[in-house]
Chain A
Amino acid sequence: MKLLLENAHIEGIRYFEAYRKNGGYRSVEKALKMTPDEIVEEVKKSGLRGRGGAGFPTGLKWSFLAKPEGVPRHLVCNADESEPGTFKDRYLMEFLPHLLIEGLIVSSFALGSNATYIYIRGEYAWIPDILEQAIQEAKNNGFLGKNILGTGFDLEIYVHRGAGAYICGEETALIESLEGKRGNPRIKPPFPAVQGVWMRPTVVNNVETLATIVPIINMGGEAYGNIGVGKSTGTKLISACGNLNKPGVYEIPFDLSVEDFIYSDEWCGGIPNGKRLKACIPGGSSVPIVPANLLLKTAKGETRYMNYESLSDGGFQTGTMLGSGGFIVLDEDQCVVKHTMTLAHFYMHESCGQCSPCREGTGWMWRILKNIENGKGKMEDIDLLWDVQRRIEGNTICPLGDAAAWPVAAAIRHFRDEFEWHVLNPEEAQQRNYGIAHYADPREVPVA
């Protein structure tokens, strides 16, 4: 079942006419006849969890919004998609811009925002034109601007381009950036719901989250909540990449097994050139990497599914997370040390520099990994690396520290022998990769 991408392949769906003809903007007509509180209630009933990565219940987040008399409130759409492996919001904005605008209108009405901002990563430089055209079309047709559909509700939506900073995906850094400052995360509390942009009550939600408000209003929160598995309700966009025959953006049902998602022709179509699966980072670069044998089945031997609960089954010891849905697949020819090194470099580059454990630790981790990868590592470096990541985790203002530490921790936890092999065989490690070893693709080799 597709709730977001159902109409994605209709000719001209990027433009108002085709979008409207195919049922677009119905949720605005419906929602503007409801009270804001009723809309929040529907979102709560839907069980929708934030699609940016953290998975926090959206309705609950909305209910925290402070409403002091005479103080404007704002909705800010987080389109700063920068988590390696993640490119789903880009797809939504490029091909279904009106779905996002529609979701923003309903959500702004529910939250009482008369000026809503889309904070989009600066590198997506061609997308603001697409969004601004959709905004203009919506305005021309009475869905935006003054007195929308004669209800007295006024709304302007503005597109605000960032300039290249992963950290601005963190909501308080995003708010700082929107205020024209460096993207340094704020200490919480106060939370944005009380003091956000320009110290006004603010809700920051991800693109996919806000687009999902449309089907929730159209079908009703309860009906939406009945789709899915457990606390994973509705559907989820997954951006699949790495060693896959058919990488791309997919809308998946939560009862899809990881194995089917990777190998079925309906989805990613398996791994190119008959290679075997070695490892996967299923929820964006920050979530733990897991070896093939723990990806397709849990430690208890149960089938693993593409949903919040199943992917995190086993905790960080044997599980991982759904995160943002940035699904990165590594085949048997990939080097986990090198891959982890590129991620460590990413976090070093993206650390805002505010907290010492993250500012110093991310660079330290990269330098150790670079030494190991280049055959200059010592055995004790592996323990040092473990020690450094442990001292970053939980010791920073924002979650970037954790996000930098987890991939390194998981790589050592599951692939320690590959790190040791690099240290013990420095010359050979320059010539070839370690291979699949015991991480064994369980589809072909029995797990010891």
Chain B
Amino acid sequence: MANTDIQFSGEALEKVKEIIARYPEGKQKSALIPVLHLAQGTFGGWLDVPVMDYVASLLDIKPIEVYEVATFYTMFNTKPVGKYVFEVCKTGPCMINGSDDIIKYIEDKLGIKPGETTPDGLFTLKPAECLGACGYAPMMQLGKYYKEHLTREKVDEIIEQCRSGNMKID
């Protein structure tokens, strides 16, 4: 558990403190999901077991309490992912507006299947359930932001921007 490589910066630790202070005394477990977001963003986009153990120690809860939560919520990755995760919605309203075609196009273009990552570690394709952008379909989540009204051309542009390092994701 004492993995010294895994350590938040002083600034991040301040943020953790600020998050814990939002909840009543002794209810620091409530900070778990926000702190896991912070951890996932800090430690390579996924939650390795030592990272979860570190979060448990910060919140003074048992590691199993962290594993339970990390494996329940879709946004937490318990395996490594690419730098750019294309989370393409495929639920009803997006399906009506051609999400199947967008997913197929990304598969062909990047040579990966849903759930896979490109060998260069740049892209992961992760079909998603409804993301609340049904009127602007088809769409995907890319990091912190939504990319809506997707077309093949728009997907090309997004991939290009990612490859050239010009895509803002946080």
Bound together, the chains give a CA A85 to CA B132 distance in angstroms of 7
Q: Which residues of B lie under 8 Å from residue A183 when comparing CB positions?
A: 72-73
Residue of B nearest to A407 (CB): B92
For window 107-123 of chain A, which residues contact chain B by CB distance below 8 Å? 115, 117, 121-123
Knowing A81-B132, A198-B24, the reply to whether A165 touches B73 (Cβ < 8 A) is yes
- Does residue A30 face the partner (Cβ distance < 8 Å to B)? no
For window 328-353 of chain A, which residues contact chain B by CB distance below 8 Å? 328, 330, 334, 338-339, 342-343, 345-346, 349-350, 352
- Does residue B75 face the partner (Cβ distance < 8 Å to A)? yes
Identify A163's interface contact among B74, B131, B144, CB under 8 A.
Answer: B74
Q: Which residues of A lie under 8 Å from residue B59 when comparing CB positions?
A: 180
Comparing B6-14, B109-117, B133-141, B157-165, the segment that makes contact with chain A is B133-141
Number of A residues contacting the other chain (C-beta, 8 Å)?
A: 57
Q: Which residues of B lie under 8 Å from residue A177 when comparing CB positions?
A: 33
- Does residue B58 face the partner (Cβ distance < 8 Å to A)? no
- Does residue A213 face the partner (Cβ distance < 8 Å to B)? no
Instruction: Name the interface size band of chain B.
Output: 35 or more
**Inter-chain contact A163/B33, CB cutoff 8 Å:** yes
- Does residue B57 face the partner (Cβ distance < 8 Å to A)? no
Q: Which residues of A lie under 8 Å from residue B93 when comparing CB positions?
A: 84-85, 241-242, 328
For window 1-34 of chain B, which residues contact chain A by CB distance below 8 Å? 22, 24, 27, 29-34
**Inter-chain contact B144/A84, CB cutoff 8 Å:** no
**Inter-chain contact A330/B96, CB cutoff 8 Å:** yes
Q: Which residues of B lie under 8 Å from residue A437 when comparing CB positions?
A: none
Identify A339's interface contact among B33, B96, B134, CB under 8 A.
Answer: B96
Knowing A84-B91, A121-B132, A328-B134, the reply to whether A164 touches B74 (Cβ < 8 A) is yes
Residue of A nearest to B73 (CB): A163
Interface string of A204-241 (1 = CB under 8 A from B): 00000000000000000000000000000000000111
Bound together, the chains give a CA A86 to CA B136 distance in angstroms of 12
- Does residue B130 face the partner (Cβ distance < 8 Å to A)? yes
CB distance from A70 to the nearest CB of B (A): 14
CB distance from B64 to the nearest CB of A (A): 12
**Inter-chain contact A180/B29, CB cutoff 8 Å:** yes
**Inter-chain contact B72/A165, CB cutoff 8 Å:** yes
- Does residue B69 face the partner (Cβ distance < 8 Å to A)? yes
Interface string of A231-259 (1 = CB under 8 A from B): 00000000111110001110000000000
**Inter-chain contact A162/B73, CB cutoff 8 Å:** yes
**Inter-chain contact B75/A163, CB cutoff 8 Å:** yes
CB distance from B87 to the nearest CB of A (A): 8
Identify A248's interface contact among B76, B131, B135, B145, CB under 8 A.
Answer: B135
- Does residue A73 face the partner (Cβ distance < 8 Å to B)? no
Q: Which residues of A lie under 8 Å from residue B129 when comparing CB positions?
A: 84, 166, 345-346, 349-350
- Does residue A161 face the partner (Cβ distance < 8 Å to B)? yes
**Inter-chain contact A241/B74, CB cutoff 8 Å:** no
Q: Which residue, of B29, B31, B33, has the highest number of chain A Cβ atoms within 10 A?
A: B33
Q: Which residues of A lie under 8 Å from residue B30 when comparing CB positions?
A: 160, 178-180, 198
Bound together, the chains give a CA A49 to CA B86 distance in angstroms of 38
Identify A180's interface contact among B33, B76, B143, CB under 8 A.
Answer: B33
CB distance from B18 to the nearest CB of A (A): 10
Residue of B nearest to A156 (CB): B22
Interchain residue pairs A-B with the least CB separation, the first 8: A164-B74, A163-B73, A180-B32, A247-B135, A241-B134, A180-B29, A164-B75, A84-B130
Known: A115-B24, A180-B30, A241-B134. 8 other contacts (CB 8 A): A84-B92, A125-B143, A125-B144, A179-B27, A179-B29, A180-B32, A180-B61, A240-B135
Interface residues, chain B, with chain A CB atoms under 8 Å away: 22, 24, 27, 29-34, 36-37, 59, 61, 65, 68-69, 72-76, 90-93, 95-97, 129-137, 141, 143-145
